[in-house]
């Protein structure tokens, strides 16, 4: 691999089905565009252009997700690493909420609440921006199942009792 004027070499044996390799690099001191070149032992060459940004000024230190009834509450702890302002951007299934970061102390917790329309996987992304430049982020998904009402639960229980007695007498409906 060639990056930032330095050649690095590492032997990697991929197992069947593996498609990703993790490798850490030190970013150059200067900001701007750099190209990462990767050579394989077979002579293949791949390159990837990257933009080196200044040191981040905001960071996510913790994310907590809780459920209250059919609402999902997402708490995001943001650490301010420099004297800047910015925003926490929260997206769930494509819908966006934004909160301004303008606190004097070094850590602040933001709460985002949403109520999924239906059961299933909910795609969530959280990222921090300062002067519309990316600072930190997280992306993932949670599985959500709508709560049943008391009436629905009672009816399910009654149906089970009826089906039990029908099975005793071998009656089919």
Asked if residue 15 has pLDDT above 70, the reply is: yes
As a whole number of angstroms, the distance between CA 21 and CA 14 comes to 8
Q: Listing from the earlier edge strand, what are the strands of the sheet with 133-144?
A: 95-101, 86-92, 120-130, 133-144
Distance CA 139, CA 153 (A): 34
Give the list of residues 6+ apart from residue 130 with CB closer than 8 angstroms, or none: 57, 58, 84, 85, 86, 87, 101
User: Residue 73 above 90 pLDDT?
Assistant: yes
Mean pLDDT of the chain: 80
How many whole angstroms from its chain centre is CA 105?
26
pTM: 0.57
Quote the CA–CA distance of 59 and 35 in Å, as a whole number.
Answer: 26
Quick: pLDDT tens for 77-108.
998 887 788 899 999 988 888 888 876 668 88
Weakest mean pLDDT among 20-29, 52-61, 163-172: 20-29
Query: Which is more confidently placed, 47 or 31?
Result: 47
Domains and CATH numbers, the chain: 2-52 (no CATH), 58-144 (2.60.40.10)
End-to-end Cα separation, the chain, in angstroms: 69
pLDDT at residue number 173: 63
Q: Tell me the percentage of the chain whose pLDDT exceeds 70.
A: 81
């Amino acid at each position: 691999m060639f990056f930032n004027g330095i050649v690095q070499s590492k032997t990697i044996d991929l197992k069947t089905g593996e498609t990703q390799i993790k490798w850490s690099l030190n970013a150059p001191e200067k900001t701007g565009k750099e190209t990462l070149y990767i050579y394989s032992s077979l002579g293949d060459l791949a390159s990837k252009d990257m933009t080196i940004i200044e040191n981040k000024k905001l960071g996510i230190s913790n994310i907590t997700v809780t459920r209250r009834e059919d609402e999902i509450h997402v708490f995001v702890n943001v650490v301010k690493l420099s004297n800047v302002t910015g925003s926490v951007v929260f997206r769930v299934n494509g819908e966006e909420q934004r909160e301004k970061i303008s606190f004097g102390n070094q850590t602040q917790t933001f709460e985002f609440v949403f109520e999924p329309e239906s059961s299933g996987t909910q795609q969530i992304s959280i990222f921090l921006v300062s002067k519309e430049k990316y600072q930190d982020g997280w992306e993932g998904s949670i599985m959500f199942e709508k709560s049943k009402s008391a009436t629905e639960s009672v009816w399910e229980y009654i149906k089970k009792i009826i089906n039990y007695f029908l099975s005793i007498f071998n009656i089919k409906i």
